[in-house]
C-alpha cells in the first residue's frame, strides 16, 4: 500500500473530488452525515477500508481512518499482527501515547500512539484485548 494519505489532509472536499486518486480511494462515494448536529461529515469506502473525515464548516479533510485489508495489511508496512514494540521499531518513538483504559459506558478502550512519519501525523490504534494494531488514522498535524 503506497497510498499517500497524509498529503490529502488539509485539502477541501471540492479540491479532492477533482483528483482521480481520491475518487478511486473513495470508491466514487458521496458524503454521508452520521448526524447533522455534528461538525463533521464522512466519505466512506468499505471496499477500500477507508473513511475520510471532513470538517463541515470548511469542507476540509481533517482525518482519514484506514482499516486493514483482507490479509491484515495497513499502510507504512504495518500489519494487524504487530504489537506496540514492533510499530515503534518500524516508525520510531511516538510523539504521544495513551494506554488502554476503561471508559464508562464504552468499556475497555484500546491504547493508541501518535507518530510523525515523513511529516504526516499518524495515529496507530490498538485492539484493547489482543493489543495488536487495529487501524491507522491520519490526522492534521495540530492534533495533540
Tell me the three cell numbers of residue 95: 510523539
Q: pLDDT-based confidence at 2, cuts 50/70/90?
A: very low
Looking at CATH, the fold of the domain delimited by 67-144 is given as: Beta-lactamase Inhibitory Protein; Chain:B, domain 1 (3.30.1450)
The per-residue pLDDT for range 36-63, each reduced to its tens digit, is: 778 888 898 888 899 999 998 899 999 9
∠ Cα 138 73 81 (to 5°): 105
Residues 6 or more apart from 28 whose CB is under 8 A from it?
Answer: none
Q: Where in the chain is the domain with CATH 3.30.1450?
A: 67-144
Q: What share of the chain is helix, strand, coil (3-state, %, to 5)?
A: 15, 35, 45
The per-residue pLDDT for range 77-117, each reduced to its tens digit, is: 999 999 999 999 999 999 999 999 998 888 899 999 999 99
- Provide the CA 46 distance to its chain's centre, in angstroms: 14
| pTM assigned to the model | 0.85
Amino acid at each position: 500500500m503506497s497510498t499517500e494519505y497524509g498529503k490529502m489532509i488539509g485539502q477541501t472536499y471540492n479540491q479532492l473530488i477533482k483528483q482521480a486518486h481520491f475518487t478511486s480511494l473513495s470508491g466514487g462515494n458521496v458524503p454521508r452525515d452520521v448526524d447533522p448536529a455534528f461538525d463533521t461529515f464522512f466519505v466512506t469506502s468499505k471496499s477500500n477500508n477507508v473513511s475520510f473525515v471532513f470538517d463541515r464548516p470548511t469542507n476540509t479533510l481533517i482525518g482519514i481512518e484506514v482499516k486493514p485489508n483482507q490479509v491484515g495489511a495497513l499502510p507504512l508496512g504495518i500489519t494487524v499482527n504487530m504489537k506496540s514494540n514492533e510499530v515503534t521499531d518500524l516508525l520510531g518513538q511516538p510523539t504521544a501515547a495513551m494506554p488502554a483504559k476503561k471508559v464508562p459506558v464504552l468499556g475497555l478502550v484500546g491504547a493508541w500512539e501518535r507518530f510523525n512519519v515523513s511529516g504526516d501525523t499518524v495515529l496507530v490504534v490498538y485492539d484493547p484485548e489482543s493489543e495488536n494494531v487495529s487501524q491507522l488514522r491520519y490526522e492534521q498535524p495540530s492534533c495533540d
